[in-house]
Structure 1
């Protein structure tokens, strides 16, 4: 859309439309371009990285839409040190929460308004919705994990779960959590309406398993099973009759057994290797934060063997760790992880800069561990 606007401006310029008026400054939209690119998980090729970098530069300089400034404030993030992670994991979820639980127009208005007061009021509403979304998601995820406790995922190539109490606005997030946890293509279902006759499903996949193609194959093998479906390789949605969920589960697993071998179901995590203690500093973490990372251009992930000095749950959802290597002690956190680690483990992590009461420190964000 940004390039359409650029082309339109160029065409109007050729036609002399700006002979008696100033040309519109489209660079003022780059903060929105950056947010949309990152939050929608668009591949960061060379062109998109330039756009996101320019948008982040404007945000850090304080030249941003009133709504984006309000969302940074509501999320407790500093706009002057904005990163791609802030756009993807702080602002994006708050905007998406409106569409999942209420009316997406709230998020749209927040981004469009020029009224600072109105933007702040909307950002607070979106923040409250996001907290509600997280609570619903946590409950649904716990229910799903409880159900899976009775199943050995290693004996399955796919996961299909349905619970009539689930909220259809959050099933995609739960499917994603299950996919990450068990490394299996996962589909979760919730009731589509109060009649109980139809269910809506949301799926998330792993490399090597094209989810939309799998649904297309199911629709051809089992005519009438799917009322509708759509999506792409890694994510898809579908609707079917509630009574047909068991049939779908069997059909989905059958394709999984055809397409996925043992190697495909083995998670492979590539890292940038060990990181010397001298680089585990707030300054180096800030240097990394200032660059543009995201889909197709991932941030560096390092791997080091640590002793686990202490570990405790934060908000009953995240594992807070103190790690030791030699005499050096580091703070770390593993989001959405509740199981404890052994006394020693090989840990894959990202570096982030954390500021508390004006004091900057480095924190390790754990991605995976072996031990």
Structure 2
């Protein structure tokens, strides 16, 4: 089980009925209703995809100044430098703006920092180098909003700067010729969630003018879509329009490098959704920046030579494989470090090492935040200085938290969900302590619990069909604010569990009633899964169409699987019988009392199994998984029934404590002195009385 807690939504039946009556398919109606889109009118509005961007780019503060300065530079033949970032958003932003400027006949220079050598954001040596090459105007994309000192340095060299960014602003903005960022406190632009490439796209549309907006949007929406998905922007408003149109235009894009990457990634000729962008294309582009070769990805997207594009795409995919190996090694090392942390140091994971690859620590931070349900801060150390990458969890605002620790840092930048920072090595311990206090003050000091958000449990397995899965695609594009729907199948049977992909993944066959489903659980081994054939399980999953050798079938892509918390009919009857016995006035027949009767050796076997499980730290589970394990130890035809009674006897005798916390049962051993007489338990005495009658 990957998640300690499943939050399963329960839509109102009347909302689902209203949507179905309006013609919406069952599963889509369920998801829309549980997400608060409860009427046919709001559903139609949500599902509608704009074909263009309706907000004028000139609504952005300083956009007029940016356009005027850039047009003057183009007209007078100045050398313009585009300064980007090394992630997917930064690379696509850079390529987008460079392509437009070149189409205008401008003389351009491109600069993307090397993650390891240069670090994040603007740097004085880079600016000096661009000035030495003749640049008199520098335009930043996806960076620069916190580069006050560097912008002043550029001005001292006689270089104007236009800042375009989408990250959070500090109190004082850079003294640039123009600062275009929707997050400026004085920016009236109504949509605040554009990615860096979204802001760059808006700049290009402003430069081209109203008459060219449609043509420019058609050319650049695919680049902007890739950057927007990769940067995990909220999938609403203009972002939804950018990504929808970008995905639709993808097969026909003029950028030959994108086609080459699709072929190398095995996606050529296949439908590409936001899921493929996020999990297939983006990691390959990102790998270049992470491994210190961001220019390789930019070269791929810029080139017009198909042969060169094929070569660069192969290099990019090889870099991604190298990145995956490095990531696995760092993750294993980080987990070892976490095991040494005190409990008060686990609200925010602050980890550091000189051995880690600086370019990969950010993606490991994402993995750790998901695994441990808390913000993670991964720091690469070199020569007494740490360069850190951090990822949020549960909506914790990283930018605000880093601001509160500014006195311990040399610098920081980013936004509420992902950020970077530099820190002197000697300040890391103090930073760890303060950040943990900061997280606890937000969470109320509660220990982190990994939670899975499930849209709904499917009551009728027959509704899980290929047609329903395909109809759900109308909810695309998925992303922050519109996550891919997760469903749950409760009380299913795992008929088969088979390792695949050299043991890296699991293939399962699940059944419930007369329905049978093929399922795949990626990056989980049989040992980690802990599910054996014949087990009764709850499965959480995405629905997907799986095409193999030309045949398309329905497949459940598992997100998590756990021992079922839904009792079978026999289990429910057994629990009801025990409940009747333990109630003061519970009435049992002699035959029922006989079914509950167990031998002393069976109680002993049950106790040994229970004690072992609790001492292994498995103290927070629902009662059913415990009872199934104990029943296997107790043996006999009524083993589940008798193990349920045994648990109540152990509790009544003061051997264990049971308390309900939300939807979880917290169980613990109670230290006792001497022997405990189980036979004196009033439940067992009551049984004897029933048998005697």
Both structures adopt the same fold (TM-score exceeding 0.5) = yes
Q: Secondary structure at the match of 2:559?
A: strand
1:296 aligns with 481
1:19 aligns with none
Measure, in 1, the Cα distance between the counterparts of 2:317 and 2:469: 27
1:235 aligns with 418
Measure, in 1, the Cα distance between the counterparts of 2:339 and 2:386: 24
Q: Displacement, 1:161?
A: 1.6
Q: Which moved more, 1:172-181 or 1:23-32?
A: 23-32
- Decide whether the 8 Å contact of 1:158 with 1:186 is kept in 2: yes
Measure, in 2, the Cα distance between the counterparts of 1:142 and 1:109: 33
Q: How many residues align?
A: 355
1:332 aligns with 519
Q: Displacement, 1:147?
A: 3.0
Measure, in 1, the Cα distance between the counterparts of 2:353 and 2:501: 27
- Decide whether the 8 Å contact of 2:358 with 2:380 is kept in 1: yes
2:245 aligns with 54
Measure, in 1, the Cα distance between the counterparts of 2:450 and 2:513: 30
Instruction: After TM superposition, list the pairs within 5 Å mapping 1:222-261 onto structure 2.
Output: 223=407, 225-261=408-444
- Larger Rg, first or second structure (1 or 2): 2
Q: Which moved more, 1:290-299 or 1:80-89?
A: 290-299
Measure, in 2, the Cα distance between the counterparts of 1:154 and 1:331: 43
Measure, in 2, the Cα distance between the counterparts of 1:135 and 1:304: 34
Q: Displacement, 1:38?
A: 1.2
1:212 aligns with 399
Structure 2 counterpart of 1:368, from 560, 566, 570:
560
- The Cα offsets for residues 119-167 of structure 1, whole Å up to 9 and x where unpaired, read as 1111111101111111111111122223334457697312122222111
Q: Displacement, 1:30?
A: 2.2
- Decide whether the 8 Å contact of 1:208 with 1:260 is kept in 2: no
Structure 1 counterpart of 2:338, from 148, 165, 172:
148
- Decide whether the 8 Å contact of 2:395 with 2:417 is kept in 1: no
Query: Judging changes above 3 Å, is the alpha-carbon distance between structure 1 residues 278 and 79 closer, same or farther for their aligned structure 2 residues?
Result: farther
Measure, in 1, the Cα distance between the counterparts of 2:420 and 2:506: 31
- Decide whether the 8 Å contact of 2:399 with 2:419 is kept in 1: yes
Query: Judging changes above 3 Å, is the alpha-carbon distance between structure 1 residues 175 and 315 closer, same or farther for their aligned structure 2 residues?
Result: farther
1:185 aligns with 375
Q: Displacement, 1:262?
A: 5.6
Measure, in 1, the Cα distance between the counterparts of 2:353 and 2:433: 17
Q: Which moved more, 1:115-124 or 1:241-250?
A: 241-250
Q: TM-score, normalised by structure 1?
A: 0.86
Q: Displacement, 1:39?
A: 1.5
- Decide whether the 8 Å contact of 1:59 with 1:80 is kept in 2: no
Q: TM-score, normalised by structure 2?
A: 0.48
Measure, in 2, the Cα distance between the counterparts of 1:312 and 1:206: 31
Instruction: After TM superposition, list the pairs within 5 Å mapping 1:187-206 onto structure 2.
Output: 187-191=377-381, 193=382, 196-206=383-393
Measure, in 2, the Cα distance between the counterparts of 1:344 and 1:154: 37
1:321 aligns with 508
Measure, in 2, the Cα distance between the counterparts of 1:347 and 1:356: 23
Query: Judging changes above 3 Å, is the alpha-carbon distance between structure 1 residues 289 and 106 closer, same or farther for their aligned structure 2 residues?
Result: farther
- Tell me if 1:352 matches 2:538: no
- Tell me if 1:162 matches 2:352: yes
- Decide whether the 8 Å contact of 2:370 with 2:450 is kept in 1: no
Structure 2 counterpart of 1:83, from 273, 286, 289:
273
- Decide whether the 8 Å contact of 1:153 with 1:182 is kept in 2: no
| Gap runs ≥5 in structure 1 | 15-22
Q: Which moved more, 1:122-131 or 1:257-266?
A: 257-266
Measure, in 1, the Cα distance between the counterparts of 2:500 and 2:430: 39
- The Cα offsets for residues 261-290 of structure 1, whole Å up to 9 and x where unpaired, read as 266834443323134434434443333346
